[in-house]
Amino acid sequence: MEMASISSSPRTVEEIFKDYSGRRAGVVRALTYDVDEFYKLCDPEKENLCLYGHPNDTWEVTLPAEEVPPELPEPALGINFARDGMNRKDWLSLVAVHSDSWLLSAAFYLGARLNRNERKRLFSMINDLPTVFEVVTERKPIKDKPSVDSGSKSRVSTKVRWIKLRGNEGQVKSNPKLAADESFEEDEDEHSETLCGSCGGNYNADEFWIGCDICERWFHGKCVKITPAKAESIKQYKCPSCSLKRSRQ
C-alpha cells in the first residue's frame, strides 16, 4: 500500500467531516449489525488486528499498515487478543471506546492545516453525533418513537417523514396531520435527538425513516434498504437485527 501524502487527503472542514462520518458509520455497523461477523474475524489466535472504518461506510478487520509512520493514526492494536477474556458486551464497549479515540485522532490529523475556528467547527460537527461507545452501549437514549397504540393516532408533524407500520392491522400510518397548534414545535423537538439504529446518525426531517415493530427502533430507510414504496407493502417491519434473531430461534 502506497503512503498517501496528507496534501491529497480531505482538506476542508466539510470534507474531513464526511470522511469521519463514513469511517464512523463503518465502525458502528461492525459493532452492531455486523457484530457476529466482526466477532468471528477477531480470532485471538491471529496476529495483532485492528478495526478500520473506511470513508465509504464500510469496515475491515486487518493487520496494521506496514509503513512507518502510517498514512493515518492507527486504531487500537490487538483488539482480538482480549476477545475471549472478557464479557462480549464489555469487549465490544472497549473496542468502541478505542474506535472513538481513533476516529477523532484521524479527523484532527487530516485537519492539521485547519485554523482555530475551523477546528472548533469540525469538533462541533463531530460532537453533534453520538459516539460509537454511546451507540454500542445505548447510553445515548433513543427516544420513544411515534407509534400507534390503543387505537389513537401518532402525534407526528406533517413535515416529519416517519412511517410506522402496524402489523396487526396491515396498514401504514404515514405523516398523520396535526391540529394547527403548538404541537408542531413539540414534535420537532421530540424527534430531533432520535438516532438511526443502523448508522447512529441524527434524525433529519428531509429523509425517509422507518420503525421496527419488534424492537421499536428507527432507521434511515437507506440504511436498511427500504424505500417508501416498498414500505407500503410491508404489514409488519422487522429490522435486520430482529430478523436475524428470529431466524435463529
Which phi-psi region, left, alpha or beta, contains residue 172 (left: φ > 0; alpha: ψ -120 to 50)? beta
75 has pLDDT over 80: yes
Segments making up each domain of the chain, as ranges:
6-137, 162-248
pLDDT tens digits along 187-200: 445 555 678 888 87
Mean pLDDT across 161-168: 40
Most confident region among 186-190, 203-207, 222-226 by mean pLDDT: 222-226
- What is the distance between the alpha carbons of residues 225 and 246, in angstroms, rounded to a whole number? 19
Q: Using CA of residue 213, residue 217, residue 219, residue 224, what is the dihedral sign?
A: negative
Whole-model pTM: value is: 0.57
Q: Which CATH architecture has domain 162-248?
A: 2-Layer Sandwich (3.30)
218 has pLDDT over 50: yes
* Side chain identity, residue 45: E
Contacts of 158 (CB under 8 A, 6+ apart): 175, 176, 177, 178
Q: Which of 8, 25, 39, 79 is nearest to 200 (CA)?
A: 25
167 has pLDDT over 60: no
